[in-house]
Structure 1
Amino acid sequence: MAFRQRREKLRSILNGAACIRPGSVYDATSIRIAEDLGFELGMFGGSVASLAVLGDPDIALITLTELAEQMRRMSRAAALPVLVDADHGYGNALNVRRTVQELEAAGAAGLTIEDTLLPQAFGQSGMQLIPMEEGVGKMKAAIDGRSDPSLVVIGRTGAASVTGLDDAIVRAKAYEAAGVDALFFTGIQNRGELEAISAATALPIVLGGAPEDMAAPDYLAGRRVRVALQGHAPFAAATQAVFETLKALREGASPKSLKGLPSSELTGRAMREADAKARSSEFLGLKKP
């Protein structure tokens, strides 16, 4: 029931009139911080999943098991709805169906399935797409794979920057007809492209990055964009902070002299220390401090 409530919250965002910016999350601590700060939605990107779990670039090395387990950890830690980048579904349409089952069980509020050819084909550089017909099969398999009808399935295409705007629209309309709940576009370069896509389709739109002149939430909302990603700066900032801290310690700085460390109050809130103490008192008979 708790997972369904998260999925219904995501659906209310997609069915609403506003465009929201999700918080990029990748582990139990980051999702709790995003929740505490009031984000309506978390975004678990494929690139940060690969970095957080493997320390590898976004080249389809992470497995479904690893992705789902990380999502499961976040679902346990916080009630914030999370949209998961499920890449190509880790294989063909039958693998997509399994991907949906695993991420649904792990507590995802929604997931995206894309038509990128992954992993990269031998001897080929640059992004390539699978045939549209195969993409349609993947979308149908994704929908068939969910047991909770409130789980959000989003069809994603990067065709705009690979095969052109016209192909992106054809693919989007085909995925729409297949029954997905929303459409995710990457590679949109200008307002004209977004407006053409919005005019040709009917479903809510998720936008994966856009030029600065398209960043205004009111403008995006008017083109039916309900979720607009803004990259994964939190993980980048955390990487820089870890580097600077370890570098200072390696060079002889004392722990007490380090700058930029969280307060004990922030750390305690992130680890839900008050809840743990209350449970220790109730269940273990420990006295509250």
Structure 2
Amino acid sequence: MDWTDRRRRFRAILAGDRCVHPGSVYDPISARIAEDLGFELGMFAGSTGSLAVLGAPDLVVLTLTEFAQQALRINRAGGLPLLVDADHGYGNALSVMRTVQELETAGVAGMTIEDTALPQPYGAGQPRLLSVEEGLGKMRAAVAARQDPNLVILARSSAVTIAGTEEAVARAKAYAVTGVDGFFLPGVTRRAEVEPIAAAIDLPLVIASATGELADQDWLRANRVRVGLQGHQPFQAAVQAVYATLKALREGTAPKDLQNLAPPALMRQVTRESDYQGWTRDFLGG
């Protein structure tokens, strides 16, 4: 697997002049579907990782090992550059270094490291930000830990939603000098929340919801928003499909009468059946 090529393709997106909407993926099949449909980038979130691996909500109970293993399964299945949500780096700044090492080895093209106090401390109630000093330590550690200089490290901060735009601007300025490759803004919904940050730092931006007034491509281009997530609906759709199919079977529907099943041609495509048939002929004499 040429991980460096995928990272260079992701860097080309960040250096480009338009906003790309990544495909939300969570396992090998979903990643292959996104790649086959022409998505330039895949996004593997901590929330979908927790759902896919543990069947648990996004409470940061997934371990680094579990997350990195799933990222490797996704990357091994195709050639789609993968951006992952590495949460808080699974601990302190030294843990961030380990996180970068594990996810780089798993083949990701880029990752976000955030400055939220995670997992939720006892008695915290509402989300809290780390001190700027601790956040800086994590960003510097992440940059120092990567071996492939093409690996993308994005600083992530929920400061806009937790502490306001002014604090977000201050943190963006602080993190921009650590060597990170961009700034991820979760939770923003208005242009007025993004524009001051775009004006304050000379780095590409990533937003978690390129919808509503943030959907205009000209505005996104002008404010250096190079990646705009659209949510993680594919996992929700998969849950609904499995639920409906099992429910129908439980209620007596005959297998031949089930609706909305993937046709055989699509199953052959997403499982790369022709590749395996070729390998069987070449290496197993059949």
Normalised by the shorter chain, which TM-score bucket?
Answer: over 0.9
**Counterpart code for 1:3:** W
1:55-134 matches, within 5 Å, as: 55-134=55-134
Q: Which runs of 5+ in 2 are unaligned?
A: none
Identical-pair percentage: 55
The 8 Å contact of residues 19 and 218 in structure 1, kept in 2 or not, is answered as no
The one-letter code of the counterpart of 1:216 is D
Structural RMSD (CA): 0.9
> Counterparts of 1:233 and 1:217 in 2: how far apart (Å)?
21
Give the AA of the match of 1:19: C
Shift of 1:214: 1.4
Q: Secondary structure at the match of 2:66?
A: helix
Question: How far off its partner does 1:194 sit?
Answer: 1.3
3-state SS, counterpart of residue 9 of structure 2: helix
> Separation in 1 of the partners of 2:218 and 2:66?
37
Partner of 1:240: 240
Distance in 2, matches of 1:217 and 1:78, equals: 29
Q: CA deviation at 1:35?
A: 0.4
Instruction: Report the alpha carbon displacement of residue 189 of structure 1 after superposing the two structures with TM.
Output: 3.2
The answer as to 2:13 corresponding to 1:8 is: no
- Secondary structure at the aligned position of 2:203 is classed as coil
Q: Return the offset for 1:29.
A: 0.3
* Structure 2 counterpart of 1:197: 197
Task: Mark the runs of 5 or more structure 1 residues left unpaired by the alignment.
Answer: none
Q: Which amino acid aligns with 1:271?
A: T
Alpha-carbon distance in 2 for matches of 1:104, 1:10: 14
Shift of 1:211: 5.0
Residue identity in the other structure for 1:79: G
Is 2:7–2:110's contact at 8 Å kept on the other side of the alignment? yes
Q: TM-score, normalised by structure 1?
A: 0.97
- Counterpart of 1:154 in structure 2 is 154
Please say if 1:207 is aligned against 2:211. no
Question: Once superposed, which parts of structure 1, at least 4 consecutive aligned residues long, lie more than 2 Å away?
Answer: none
d(CA) in 1 for partners of 2:245 and 2:83? 31
Matched to 2:266, the amino acid is L
Equivalent residues of 2:18, 2:226 under 8 A apart: yes
Number of corresponding residues: 286
Q: Aligned equivalents of 2:213 and 2:188: distance in 1?
A: 12
Residue 51 of structure 2 corresponds to 51
CA contact (8 A) 1:110 1:154 kept: yes
